[in-house]
Amino acid sequence: MLPAFKRFLVLLFVFALFFLLVMATRTWRSGGDLTSLIPSFLRNTETNRPEAFTPSNEPALNLSDVEIISRLNEEYARLTRAVVPSVVSIDTVGVRTERLMDFFGRSSVRSYPTQGQGSGVIVSKEGHIITNHHVIAGQNKIRITLHGGKTYGATMIGEDPLLDIAVIKIDSNETFAPLKLGDSSQVEVGQLVFAVGNPFGLGETVTQGIISAKERSLSDNQRDLFQTDAAINPGNSGGPLVNLTGEIIGINVAIYSPDRNNPGFQGVGFSIPSNEVREALEQIIRRGRPIRGYLGVQMRDLDPAVRLELGYMDGKGSAVLGTTLGAPAHKAGLRAGDVIVSYNGEIIKDTAQLISLVQRSGIGKQVKISIWRKGELIELKATISEATSPPVYSPITPEEKTKDNLLILRNIGVEVRDLTAPERALGYTGVLVTSLLPGGKAAGILQPGDLIISLNNFRISNTNEFYLHLAASAAVQATSLSVLRSGSPLRLSLPAP
């Protein structure tokens, strides 16, 4: 063997020995096992010895020890088995269009398909289903999936956008298992309830909670809602809220979520009481649409500033902002500045209550309205008509020079509505522009569909608030508006009349 090669082998051996000593020292200092330094092929390959393992064959408690809870558990399961077959999953397909503008100012329209999911509940043997209006609004195709997985098409029967209720019918001559609409007036705070629906498209899901509060209001349209802590998530909309006997006491409609882009349950959900749902259902089945009373009066709540302005010190009632020409309120003699104290003998606490009473009044019914006018109580009579369209202000004439609130608002010429429950559930606030009076100050500045968020940097929450502050501002100055138009924020100014 060559001397050079021998020296190489010696150096290689010394290096390997030194490397092993260093690795052994590090392993020993770190508390490791020195056998880990032995190559795996030199180790003993014998399998590990079995561990001693003795599982328990007895439960922690006998059923006799938790008899009440076990009975309650079985009753919950029995209730679920009875209710779930009547709850359906709803899948919708529609088409949404948007207008695009190119660099040269030319416009074009683009259409793209949309899909949605929700829940519903069968309320007749013929296959009538109640769901939320926002679940099926603007959709071209509706598909229903029953508990067993069978699917059907469905046809729209009627809708109530104000209440956010729609009635659809399964396209089949089969007989279906309906749930009964219960009496929501008997519901108590603290009562156990179950929410059933199709959250996130997962299929039938049951959650349990209590009625947290009653008479919650998301807007002047969505009033007297039940609040519950039973988990309600996106996709639960339109599903039932049931009591311990499986009766529908509410239709789930909205949740509170601080994240508008990724809404999730925060322990606060809302349901439309079943009595209001039943009323809408019966009207839709009979006439294809809801029938509501109409008075034709703009109202505002009596906050301290309003009471001081009017000289009215009582806390109850609702102040008249203006009336629509030709409407029942105008014919009855109501004027701006009046305070409605009672309606058909019922004392008025706030504007939402008055709106509710008017809408529930029979068409053609004559009602007694007690008003306060400049320190005097006056009895008026009005004949309720049907609410068919939003009120329209008539143009102002040259002879009308007085700057009362109604004339100012006529001159501005903007009609707004409150946001619906689904719109508020997405985190939006303010009022939505519905129409503009030709020749009004707002024409050419505002557009239908604009979301008015604030007025003179004061955030707007409802129509009454908007009209009140607009009338007060426009009487003396130009009015600054913060507006959201097609997703883009704008700052607009309305000139004083």
Residues with Cβ within 8 Å of 493's Cβ and at least 6 positions away in sequence, in order, are: 445, 478, 479, 480, 481
CB 323 within 8 A of CB 298: yes
The least confident of 31-35, 101-105, 462-466 is 101-105
- Listed in sequence order, the DSSP H helices in 333-478 are 351-360, 405-412, 421-425, 463-474
Could you tell me which residue, 310 or 382, shows the higher pLDDT? 382
- The conformation of residue 355, written as its DSSP 8-state character, comes to H
pTM score of the predicted model: 0.59
pLDDT reading at 359 higher than 50: yes
Could you tell me which residue, 12 or 424, shows the higher pLDDT? 12
- The conformation of residue 370, written as its DSSP 8-state character, comes to E
Of 237, 257, 361, 482, the catalytic one is: 237
The average pLDDT across 85-98 equals 80
Quote the pLDDT of residue 84.
92
pLDDT reading at 111 higher than 90: no
The least confident of 236-240, 328-332, 399-403 is 399-403
Q: Which fold has domain 405-494?
A: Pdz3 Domain (2.30.42)
Of 89, 133, 164, 338, the catalytic one is: 164
The amino acid at 69: I
Give me the residue label for tokens 């305070």. 339
CATH 2.40.10.10 boundaries in the chain? 84-170, 184-287
Task: Domain 184-287: give its CATH superfamily.
Answer: Trypsin-like serine proteases (2.40.10.10)
Quote the pLDDT of residue 44.
60
Q: Which fold has domain 293-386?
A: Pdz3 Domain (2.30.42)
10 Å CB burial of residue 85 (0-12, 13-18, 19+) is middle
| Residue 237 is among the residues annotated as catalytic for this protein | yes
The average pLDDT across 56-82 equals 86
Q: Identify the band that residue 106 occupies on the pLDDT scale cut at 50, 70 and 90.
A: low
| Residue 164 is among the residues annotated as catalytic for this protein | yes
Could you tell me which residue, 119 or 472, shows the higher pLDDT? 119
Residues with Cβ within 8 Å of 449's Cβ and at least 6 positions away in sequence, in order, are: 432, 433, 485, 486
Could you tell me which residue, 354 or 251, shows the higher pLDDT? 251
Of 134, 338, 342, 385, the catalytic one is: 134
For the chain, percent of residues with pLDDT exceeding 70: 82
Quote the pLDDT of residue 107.
56
For the chain, percent of residues with pLDDT exceeding 90: 24
Quote the pLDDT of residue 399.
36
DSSP 179-246: PPB--GGG--TT-EEEEEE-GGG---EEEEEEEEEEEE-SSSSS-SEEEE-S---TT-TT-EEE-TTS
pLDDT in tens, 432-461: 998 888 888 888 899 988 999 888 777 787
CB 363 within 8 A of CB 385: yes
CATH entry, 84-170, from 2.40.10.10, 1.10.230.10, 3.40.50.150, 2.60.120.650: 2.40.10.10
pLDDT in tens, 257-291: 555 555 555 678 889 999 989 988 998 988 877 77
CATH 2.30.42.10 boundaries in the chain? 293-386, 405-494
pLDDT in tens, 153-205: 999 998 887 788 899 999 999 999 999 999 998 999 999 999 998 877 677 78
Quote the pLDDT of residue 244.
92
Q: What's the CA angle centered on 172, arms 168 and 177, to 5 degrees?
A: 75
CB 198 within 8 A of CB 149: no
Quote the pLDDT of residue 467.
83
| Residue 134 is among the residues annotated as catalytic for this protein | yes
pLDDT in tens, 216-247: 655 444 557 888 988 887 778 889 999 999 99
Per-residue b or e along 185-210, where b marks 16 or more CB atoms closer than 10 Å to that residue's CB: eebeeebebbbbbbbeeeebbbbebe
Rounded CA-CA distance 185/478 in Å is 47
Rounded CA-CA distance 414/463 in Å is 11
pLDDT reading at 129 higher than 90: yes
Average pLDDT, the chain: 80
Could you tell me which residue, 63 or 383, shows the higher pLDDT? 383
pLDDT reading at 397 higher than 50: no
Rounded CA-CA distance 449/151 in Å is 36
Q: Identify the band that residue 381 occupies on the pLDDT scale cut at 50, 70 and 90.
A: very high
Could you tell me which residue, 1 or 176, shows the higher pLDDT? 176
